[in-house]
């Protein structure tokens, strides 16, 4: 009975949070924006929304499957249903607190699969690093295909970038030094405390981050990334 009440409480909290977010977003609109929203909804061809919703769901579902490939490398094999709910809850939390959804989905999945959350966070870091790499590749392709169109803009931005770097060399140097010190500190902390909770946390975190390099089904990971 207690378990049922806890489950109902969680559903009520998340549902209430969703209703509050929608209410807050609508309440913040000005009268002109409300009128524009109503007119836009009236002019929508709802049949065109069906493929949009379908593709949006497939994008999230492919992300679920891709995350599972990473999880399998660290001996975590959750069900598709649990992984789906964790990913969707993550997107839901992002509506209220941007980027907090990444932590939320790890926490939710860790609870139902009985694994340490920080171990799952490592796979998220690896996944996002790969996403950034894909973004850079897409960015380079776009620049290559549209070089004649954007060359003038790029040249102007490059001059401004060089000027900014020249005036902020000390800040850039500080960022580099702090990053190096942070990495060295983490290594030293792990070596000194590798047998206690801090060391276990860092080890499992790094294990999750490196999961992308130990993946057996790399082609499946790449195909799912393209589909996303």
Read off the pLDDT of residues 126-155 as tens digits, 9 standing for 90 and up. 788 778 788 888 888 887 777 777 766 766
The closest of 190, 76, 183, 58 to 123, measured between CA atoms, is: 76
User: For 14-40, how does the pLDDT look when each residue is reduced to its tens digit (9 = 90+)?
Assistant: 777 777 777 777 777 788 887 887 888
Q: What percent of the chain has pLDDT over 70?
A: 72
> Sorting pLDDT into bands at 50, 70 and 90, what band is 222?
confident
Question: CA–CA separation, 81 vs 85, rounded Å?
Answer: 6
Question: CA–CA separation, 161 vs 221, rounded Å?
Answer: 35
> Sorting pLDDT into bands at 50, 70 and 90, what band is 62?
very high
User: For 77-119, how does the pLDDT look when each residue is reduced to its tens digit (9 = 90+)?
Assistant: 888 888 888 888 888 887 777 777 788 888 888 888 787 777 7
Q: Is the pLDDT of residue 194 over 70?
A: no
Q: Is the pLDDT of residue 169 over 70?
A: no
**Burial of 125: CB neighbours in 10 Å, binned 0-12, 13-18, 19+:** middle
Q: Is the pLDDT of residue 50 over 80?
A: yes
> Sorting pLDDT into bands at 50, 70 and 90, what band is 61?
very high
Alpha-carbon dihedral angle through residues 73, 76, 82, 85, given to the nearest 10 degrees: -50
Q: What are phi and psi of 97, to 5 degrees?
A: -130, 100
| Residue located via tokens 């996944």 | 127
Q: What is the DSSP string of 34-48?
A: HHHHHHHHHH--GGG
pLDDT at 7: 64
pLDDT mean over 200-205: 57
Q: Is the pLDDT of residue 59 over 80?
A: yes
> Sorting pLDDT into bands at 50, 70 and 90, what band is 202?
low
Question: CA–CA separation, 41 vs 128, rounded Å?
Answer: 34
pLDDT at 116: 75
Q: Is the pLDDT of residue 217 over 60?
A: yes
pLDDT at 160: 65
């Amino acid at each position: 009975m207690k378990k049922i009440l806890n489950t109902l409480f969680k559903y009520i909290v998340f549902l209430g949070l969703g209703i509050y977010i929608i209410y807050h977003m609508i309440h913040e609109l000005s009268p002109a924006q409300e009128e524009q929203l109503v007119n836009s909804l009236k002019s929508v061809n709802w049949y065109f929304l069906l493929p949009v919703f379908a593709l949006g769901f497939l994008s999230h579902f492919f992300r679920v499957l891709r995350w599972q490939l990473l999880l399998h490398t660290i001996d975590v094999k959750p069900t598709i249903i649990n992984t789906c709910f964790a990913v969707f809850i993550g997107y839901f939390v992002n509506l209220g607190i941007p980027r907090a959804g990444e932590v939320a989905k790890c926490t939710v999945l860790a609870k139902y699969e009985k694994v340490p959350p920080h171990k799952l966070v490592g796979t998220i870091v690896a996944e996002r690093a790969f996403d950034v790499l894909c973004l850079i590749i897409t960015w380079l392709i776009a620049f290559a295909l549209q070089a004649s169109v954007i060359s003038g803009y790029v040249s102007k931005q490059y001059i401004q970038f060089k000027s900014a770097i020249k005036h902020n060399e000390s800040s850039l140097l500080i960022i580099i030094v702090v990053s190096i010190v942070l990495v060295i500190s983490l290594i030293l902390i792990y070596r000194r405390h590798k047998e206690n909770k801090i060391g276990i946390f860092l080890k499992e975190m790094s294990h999750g981050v490196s999961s992308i390099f130990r993946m057996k089904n790399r082609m499946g990971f790449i195909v799912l990334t393209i589909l996303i």
